[in-house]
Amino acid sequence: MNLVFLGDSLMHENGEDTYPQTGWPQGIKKYLKDGIGILDFAENGRSTKSFLHEGIFEKALESVRPGDVCFISFGHNDEKIQDSTRYTDPFTSFEKNLCYMSNELCSKSSKVVLLSPVSRLKYDADGNLLHTHGDYPKAIMEIAKKTKRSFVDLEKLTYDDLSSHTRKENEKHYMILKPGEFENYPQGKEDTTHLRVEGADWVCSLLVPELKKIDELKDVFR
C-alpha cells in the first residue's frame, strides 16, 4: 500500500537544495507501519486547475494502485484571483476539479482523503491570527459531504493550535529565517506560508491522530 499525495508546495517533497523548507508529508513517515510507501506528486505553485492542465494528475492517476490512500489538498494557489492560469472559484470550478480528481482516483479502487490547506501565519495589526483561505476550506468540506469522502479540516487544526501559542513560538514552524542561519538562504527569509522541518513535524502531530479515527486507515499508522 502507498500513501499518495496530490497538492501544492505545502505537500511537496523538498531536497537538500531547499533545506530547511519541508513538505508536511515528509514528517509522516515515522508514523507509518512497515511496508507503507509514499508517492508524492505535489508540486510547488499548483492549483487544482494547473495540476490538471499540466498533466500532473494524469501521471499520479497512472501510478495509483487498488488499496492506495490518496490525500488531496489544494487552496493556496486556487485563491490567486489575479492569475487566470491558477485561479478557481471555490464553489464552481474548484469543486468541479476536486470532484473529478476524487472520482477518478476512487475508480481505481483507491481511498481518498480530502484536506483543507494548512493555515498561514498571518496576523492583523492588533496581533490577531487571520483566516486567509476564504471559502476554500468550506468548499472542500462540502465536496467531501457530497462525494462521501473522508475529510480532515487541516486549516482548523493548524489555526486553532497557532491561536493557542505566541507568534514567536509559532514562527519556528514556518520559513522565517535569520540572515546566515541556513546556507540555502544567506539573506534570510520571511515566509509565513511554507514550512520548515519543525513545521512538517508539527502538522503531522496534529493530523495523524485525526487520520487514525478513519476506519479505512486503521492499518496505516503505528
Q: Which conformational region is residue 41 in: left (phi greater than 0), alpha (psi within -120 to 50 degrees), or beta?
A: alpha
Give residue 145's identity as a one-letter amino acid code: K
Domains assigned to the chain = 2-217 (3.40.50.1110)
Question: Would you give per-residue pLDDT tens digits along the chain (222 residues)?
Answer: 999 999 999 999 999 999 999 999 999 999 999 999 999 999 999 999 999 999 999 999 999 999 999 999 999 999 999 999 999 999 999 999 999 999 999 999 999 999 999 999 999 999 999 999 999 999 999 999 999 999 999 999 999 999 999 999 999 999 999 999 999 999 999 999 999 999 999 999 999 999 999 998 988 999
CB-based contact 153:137 (threshold 8 Å): yes
Nearest to 113 by CA among 39, 211, 209: 211
DSSP 29: G
Give the CA dihedral 196, 102, 139, 94, nearest 10 degrees: 90
Rounded distance between C-alpha atoms, residue 205 and residue 208, angstroms: 6
SS (H, E, C) 137-202: HHHHHHHHHHHCCEEECHHHHHHHHHHCCCHHHHHCCEEEECCCCECCECCCEEEEEEEEHHHHHH
Cis peptide bond prior to 25, omega within 30° of 0: no
